[in-house]
Amino acid sequence: MSSLSDRFKRLTGKQRFVVARVMVQLAGEPINPLLGTLNRVAQQTLDAEADADEALEHLGRGLVEICQYLLELQPYWQAAANEGDIVWDEGEASDYFNELFTDSAQRYLSQPQILEADSDDETLFLTPSDNVVVMLTFVATGDIPELETDLAEVEALDAGLKSIINLQYQDKLDAIQIHFSPARFGEQLTADQVLENFPELIPL
């Protein structure tokens, strides 16, 4: 996705930021342990929230774990969507990231549940949900062709999730946020609710 503007800014030494959000809807009984992983990552991040660097480190590790889990659950992918932009200013990248973050946080049933310290993994699997929508928002540096394309297709989404993992290992992620719906144990997300509250999702 190189343009004349991209090439000029590369020549002038300006940093290229990719701000993006990837949504994946999954359905089926085998997806339920994913809710446990998502809640555990969210809780670990909340526990480290006082230290921004530590929180980003936890989110980075959690992002890799979640992407790997999503890849394993490929047969249960139902729909996907992605959006984003390329910017050349750190402040603009931060503003756009915050915009996507706020939108994800306000999505239906996306407010997380605070767990007690003695909660165990069994607690995380007690309440099944028919559907789960995972929303991954991030800011990365450099050229990322696997993510600068439409991911509403199985092979493209597979490559995109693997690219996100590589970005974390390459230390190219400047900001990360993970949201998911339903985010509380006992809540249900039906197919009709997915259609109503996540209209941008495209069937795979």
The domain limits of the chain are 4-203
* Amino acid 50: pLDDT: 56
User: Across-strand partners of 137?
Assistant: 21, 177
**What is the chain's Cα-based Rg?**
17
In the chain, the largest separation of any two C-alpha atoms, in whole Å, equals 56
* Amino acid 157: pLDDT: 97
* Amino acid 111: pLDDT: 76
Q: From CA 188, how far away is CA 109, in angstroms rounded?
A: 9
Q: Which residues of the chain have pLDDT under 70?
A: 1-13, 47-52, 112-128
The 10s digit of each residue's pLDDT in 98-124 is 999 999 999 988 876 655 544 444 444
Amino acid occupying residue 27: A
* Amino acid 141: pLDDT: 94
* Amino acid 51: pLDDT: 64
The 10s digit of each residue's pLDDT in 49-78 is 656 677 788 889 999 999 999 999 999 999
Q: Model's pTM, two decimal places? A: 0.86
**Beta-carbon neighbour count of residue 44 at 10 Å?**
16
